[in-house]
Structure 1
Amino acid sequence: MNARVTSRDVKVGDLTFRLHEAGTPADEAILFLHGSGPGATGLSNWERIIADLASSFYCIAPDMIGFGDSSHPDPAPQGMAAFNEVRTAALFGLLDALGLTKVHLVGNSMGGSIALLMVLQAPEKVGKVVLMGSGGAPDLPASPGLRHLREFYADPAPESLRELLRQFVYDLEPLSDRIDQVVAERMSYVVRDDVRRSHAGSFNMAPARRFFHPDELATIEHDVLVVHGRDDRIIPLAASTYFATHIPSADLYVLGQCGHWTQIEHPEKFEYLVTGFIAGEL
C-alpha cells in the first residue's frame, strides 16, 4: 500500500466500512466511489489517485457495502437497484460518522450510479460531481465485457479474471508489470463466499433495473464533469453523452486510447481534470 494511504474500519449501524483514506480531514473532502466487478475494492480502484491528491484534499475511498472487507449483507439485496439503495444509505451514514457535512463525489461505473443517487437524495450534502464511465443510462445494450463481468462466477478462474481486466482497458501492455499482482489481489476476494453472495445479489437480473431519466437529471443543479474513455468496452461512450446532455451544468471530456479505467490508464490526466474541476479552473 502507498505509504500516504491508511485503512481502517468504520461502523455505521449494523454495517462496517473498510475505509481507505489519505490527506487531512480539515481539507475539502472527496468521496471516491469504485465500480463493480469481481474482487473490486476502494483501494484497487483509487490507491494512486487518493495518494496523489492527498496534499490538496481529504480523500476517502471505502470498499462499498458488498465488496472487499466492508460488510456483506446476508441475505444480500437482490438486483443492483436494491443493493445500490443500501449502499447509498450506508454512505450517508459513513459521512455522518466521519463528521463530514458536504463532500465532492467521484464515481466510476457503478460508483457513478451511486453518486447520482446521492446527489438526487441529498443535494445539500454534495459539492461537485465527477462521473467516470457511469452506469445508469437507459436503452443501451449490454456489452460483451459487461456480460463477462456479470457472469464471472460461471468460471471464476484467474485466467477469466485476467481476460476481464483486458476488456477494462484500451491496452493492457503498459500495465503488464502489475497485472499478476492485481489478479492475485482480486482473486483473494473472489474465492470468498461472502463476496460471491454479494456478486450474485447485485447481478440478479430478475428485479427491475434503475435508470436515470431526463426529468430527474434535469433537477440536478450541481456542477458535473462527465469523463469517458473513447474506447470503453464495458460502458459505451453513449452513456456519458446521455448524462452530459440531460444534466444542465454538465461538461463532457472524452479521452482517446482509453477504456473503462481512466484513473488507471491515464492517471495524470484524470488528476488534472479532477483538481481543475473542483478548483473551478476548467
Structure 2
Amino acid sequence: MPAAITTSDVRAGDRTLRVSTAGDPSATPLLFLHGSGPGVTGLSNWERLIGDLGDRYYCVAPDTLGFGDSDHPNPPPRGMAAFTELRVAATWALLDALGLEKVIPVGNSYGGQMSLAMTLERPERIEKVILMGSGGMPDLKPLPGLVKLIDFYDDPTEEAMAELLSLFVHDPAAFGDRLREIAAARIPRATREDVRRSHLATFDFSAGGRIGWQPDELARIEQEVLVIAAREDRIVPPEVSLYLSRNIPNARLHVVPNCGHWSQIEYPEMFARLVDGFVRGAF
C-alpha cells in the first residue's frame, strides 16, 4: 500500500517552498528534484515514486524555487546558470529547515543538473546521487522536444501542452487519454504569470553563463552515482548520460529501452527497484 503523502509550505530562509513528503522523517532521506517545463511540480514528477518508496525512506519532493506553488522571485535571475544558483541555495535552506544534514538526491532532467550542482558545491552533504535523463553536458545542441518545451509560451494552449507531453514518453498511445488529462491539469498553473515569468527567465540564453560541466569538474565527484538513461529520450539525448557516466569516477549507467524522458512514470516499478537497490548497495 503506498505511503501517505503530506503537502505543506515550508519556510526556507527568506523563501517559501511547497513540499510533499512521504515516510518516516528518521529514515534515510531521498530528495526528489523535478525537471523543468511549464506547469511542472514535485508531485507531477514524483507522486507515484514517493508513495511507493515512503515505506522505506523519507521522501522529500519540493516544487523547486521558481516552479509550481513555491515562491517565484520577482524580478527573477536571468538565465539558467543564475537561476540554478539561487535554486540550489533555496534547496539547501529547505534541507536545513527540515533538519536534513545529508541526503540522496534523485534528479530528473533539470533536477539532475541541480543534483550535480549541489554535489559539487557541498559534497559533505550528499551521500549518493541518482540522475535520470539528466542535463549537464556542455555545448549540447537541444533536441526538437526540448526546443518545444523552451518555446512553449509562444503558444500556451492545452493542445500545445498535450503535444509537448507526448514527446516525453516513448509510446503516447500506451497512456490513452492520460496525457491529455495531465495537460488539462497543468494548463491553469502553466499559464499563471509568475510561472511564465520564471520559465522565460530560466531559458533566457542571452544572459550567458554555462549550464554544464567539463570532465575535470565531474571527476571531482567522489560519491557513487547511478545514471539512468532512456534509449528513446526525445528531450535530453542518452548521450548526455553516457558523458556523465564516463566522467564521474564512481558512476554506473543503466539504459532503459523503449522509454522516453519519463522513465519514472513510464516504468515506475522498475524505477523504484533501481532506486531502492542502489541506495541499499545491492548493486
Q: In structure 2, the residue corresponding to 1:168 is in which secondary structure? A: coil
Partner of 1:259: 260
After TM superposition, give the deviation of residue 139 of structure 1 in Å.
Answer: 3.0
After TM superposition, give the deviation of residue 184 of structure 1 in Å.
Answer: 1.9
Partner of 1:13: 13
After TM superposition, give the deviation of residue 191 of structure 1 in Å.
Answer: 1.5
Structure 1 residue 88 corresponds to structure 2 residue 103? no
Unpaired runs of 5+ residues, structure 2, are none
Q: In structure 2, the residue corresponding to 1:19 is in which secondary structure? A: strand
Partner of 2:176: 176
Give runs of aligned pairs for residues 1-282 of structure 1, distance below 5 A: 4-208=4-208, 209-282=210-283
8 Å contact from structure 2 (residues 3, 55) kept in 1: no
| Residue type at the aligned position of 1:175 | F
Q: In structure 2, the residue corresponding to 1:252 is in which secondary structure? A: strand
After TM superposition, give the deviation of residue 211 of structure 1 in Å.
Answer: 1.2
CA deviation map 1:110-167 (0-9, x unaligned): 0000000100000111111001011120232110000000000000001101010011
Q: In structure 2, the residue corresponding to 1:127 is in which secondary structure? A: coil
CA distance in 2, matches of 1:40, 1:51: 18
After TM superposition, give the deviation of residue 197 of structure 1 in Å.
Answer: 0.4
CA distance in 1, matches of 2:230, 2:258: 7
| Residue type at the aligned position of 2:133 | G
8 Å contact from structure 2 (residues 104, 126) kept in 1: yes
Q: In structure 1, the residue corresponding to 2:216 is in which secondary structure? A: helix
Q: In structure 2, the residue corresponding to 1:136 is in which secondary structure? A: coil
8 Å contact from structure 2 (residues 3, 22) kept in 1: no
CA distance in 2, matches of 1:172, 1:215: 39
After TM superposition, give the deviation of residue 97 of structure 1 in Å.
Answer: 0.2
Q: In structure 2, the residue corresponding to 1:65 is in which secondary structure? A: coil
Unpaired runs of 5+ residues, structure 1, are none
CA distance in 2, matches of 1:46, 1:65: 16
After TM superposition, give the deviation of residue 178 of structure 1 in Å.
Answer: 2.3
Give the percent of matched residue pairs that are identical in Structure 1 and Structure 2. Answer: 53
CA distance in 1, matches of 2:65, 2:7: 16
| Residue type at the aligned position of 1:98 | L
Q: In structure 2, the residue corresponding to 1:64 is in which secondary structure? A: coil
CA distance in 1, matches of 2:11, 2:220: 33
| Residue type at the aligned position of 2:254 | Y
CA distance in 2, matches of 1:62, 1:97: 13
Higher mean C-alpha deviation, range 132-141 or range 176-185 = 176-185
After TM superposition, give the deviation of residue 185 of structure 1 in Å.
Answer: 1.8
After TM superposition, give the deviation of residue 272 of structure 1 in Å.
Answer: 0.7
Q: In structure 1, the residue corresponding to 2:204 is in which secondary structure? A: coil
Query: Residues 279, 3 of structure 1: CA spacing in aligned structure 2 closer, same or farther, 3 A cutoff?
Result: closer
| Residue type at the aligned position of 2:221 | I
CA distance in 2, matches of 1:180, 1:147: 20
CA RMSD of aligned residues (A): 1.0
After TM superposition, give the deviation of residue 179 of structure 1 in Å.
Answer: 2.1
Query: Residues 181, 3 of structure 1: CA spacing in aligned structure 2 closer, same or farther, 3 A cutoff?
Result: farther
CA distance in 1, matches of 2:3, 2:49: 13
CA deviation map 1:198-230 (0-9, x unaligned): 011001011223211111100100000000100
CA deviation map 1:79-109 (0-9, x unaligned): 1111111100010000000001101010000
